[in-house]
Structures are given as C-alpha cells and as structure tokens.
Amino acid sequence: MAEAVFTDQNFPQDVLKSGVPVVVDFWAPWCGPCRMVSPTIEELAKEYAGKVVVGKMNVDENTNTAGQFGVMSIPTVMIFKNGKPVKSVIGAQGKEAYKKMIDEALAA
C-alpha cells in the first residue's frame, strides 16, 4: 500500500479517528532532509501495511494541523494512537530509528 496523503481537511477522520496507529511525516517540498527521508517513509508504508497507516502532510499546504501539534521543524515524524500523538522525532533519521518508534507504539 502506498503512503497516505493527509490534509487539514482529512486529518481528523483519517488520523485522529483511525482504528490503527498512524505515522505522519510532516514535510515540505523545499526541505532537503525531508526528501532524504521520503523513500524510507515509502518503504515503511509497505512494510507495515495492515498494521499502521503511514502518510505525509505537506506543512506549507496544511498549516493548521502542523501548528496544532507544534511542528516547528521538519521533517517531523509523529505517531498517533487513539487520536493522540504518542511518539515523535524531529530531523532526518535512519530507517531503524523509525521502525523502533513504530514497533514501540504497536507494543504499547
């Protein structure tokens, strides 16, 4: 499954009301580190299909949600579970760091 695309409009339904954990990559097209993380996020979407939803939110186009959750630096990857952010990491990370974060959220 490909990664989801989140917007200010679909975020409440697709993320906050999701029955499974949701990984949100807050990014922007002009952000070099965001572009470096993008292939990893795509791989995670495939690897965790059926267990978590993985998607991206362009912070330039969706300022309300980014502001609501205090996203000040990008890339920020945040995991939501039961409508609340449970884990987040700022800056480009390796795939293993993201996997550890997702696995911990699934186990909690």
Instruction: Exactly one of 31, 41, 44, 45 is catalytic; name it.
Output: 31
Burial class (CB in 10 A: 0-12, 13-18, 19+), 37: buried
Residue 62 has a CB neighbour count (10 Å cut-off) of 19
Please state whether beta strands 53-58 and 84-90 pair in parallel, antiparallel, or not at all (unpaired): unpaired
Active site residue 31: yes
What is the C-alpha separation between 70 and 73, in angstroms, rounded?
A: 9
The catalytic position among 4, 22, 24, 34 is 34
15 has catalytic annotation: no
- Beta carbons of 49 and 102 less than 8 angstroms apart: no
Residues with catalytic function? 31, 34
